[in-house]
Amino acid sequence: MSIDFVLQADIRDDQGKGASRRLRRLGKVPAVVYGAGRPARAVVLDHNEVKKALALEAFYSSVVKIRVGERQQDCILKDVQRHPSKAVILHLDFQRIVAGEKIRVNVPLHLKGESLAPGVKLGGGVVSHMMNEIEVSCLPADLPEFLELDISAMALDDALHLSDIPLPKGVEIVALQHGEDHDQPVVAIHRPRVEKLDDDVDEAADADVDSEDDAEDGAGDADKET
């Protein structure tokens, strides 16, 4: 079920780091809205409202309405700046969108059927995620919340690529627009690395035993010569 994201904003006149710090102390988040052939507009948002929205995966791949008074603008989130050590949102970048113009957005990739895949269920393999999100190009009305890939038929050592992802109507994967050599793998099933490590340990142990046997044989030969 899609979510309608609406953020209430106020125009921000004060600029600079000092002004931004004052806003954050008041529980606000500075942001900028740009694009669609219009000048960039500095706005300010409520920190708690933004934090709740950012906690939802769908927020990052949805059309967001930025509302200032009675007017609102459809946008997509392009960048989030977070404090390196605190749960504080420092700044947001939003890009305006136009209904008839295509946009490029990173959308999450969801996998289904992991536990049913023969490579996992019968082969004891593990699923390797090469990509967690995919950049797509589409009209705003066609923007999917996420893409889903069924891996329930994958065997051990199988891999699926960008071209294997089912796409909704009107949606294209940006990388594939550049040719077949950009058809990168997105998921694979491999043997657990621990098995390889166990084999290495066993081989090392056997080598140690052989070395000890050789040493004992050498010591015995030395005693005989003595």
More confident residue, 222 or 36: 36
CATH 3.40.720.10 fits 103-191, yes or no: no
pLDDT score recorded for residue 211: 56
Q: What is the CATH number of domain 5-96?
A: 2.40.240.10
What percentage of the chain exceeds 70 in pLDDT?
A: 83
- pTM > 0.85: no
SS (H, E, C) the chain: CCCCEEEEEEECCCCCHHHHHHHHHCCEEEEEEEECCEEEEEEEEEHHHHHHHHCCHHHHHCCEEEEECCEEEEEEEEEEEECCCCCCEEEEEEEECCCCCCEEEEEEEEEECHHHCHHHHCCCCEEEECCCEEEEEECHHHCCCCEEEECCCCCCCCEEEHHHCCCCCCCEEHHHHHCHHHCCEEEEEECCHHHHHHHHHHHHHHHHHHHHHHHHHHHHHHHHHC
How does pLDDT run across 181-216, given as a tens digit for each residue?
999 999 999 998 764 455 555 565 555 555 555 555
Question: Which residue carries 């699926």 as its tokens?
Answer: 160
pLDDT score recorded for residue 24: 80
For residues 173-180, give the mean pLDDT: 95
Q: Which of 7-16, 144-153, 164-173 has the lowest mean pLDDT?
A: 7-16
Instruction: Give the pLDDT band (50/70/90) at residue 224.
Output: very low
Determine how β-strand 103-112 pairs with β-strand 147-150: parallel
Q: Residue count of the chain, please give it.
A: 226
Domain boundaries, the chain: 5-96, 103-191, 195-226
pLDDT score recorded for residue 7: 97
pLDDT score recorded for residue 221: 52
For residues 101-117, give the mean pLDDT: 96
If you average pLDDT over every residue of the chain, what do you get? Answer: 87
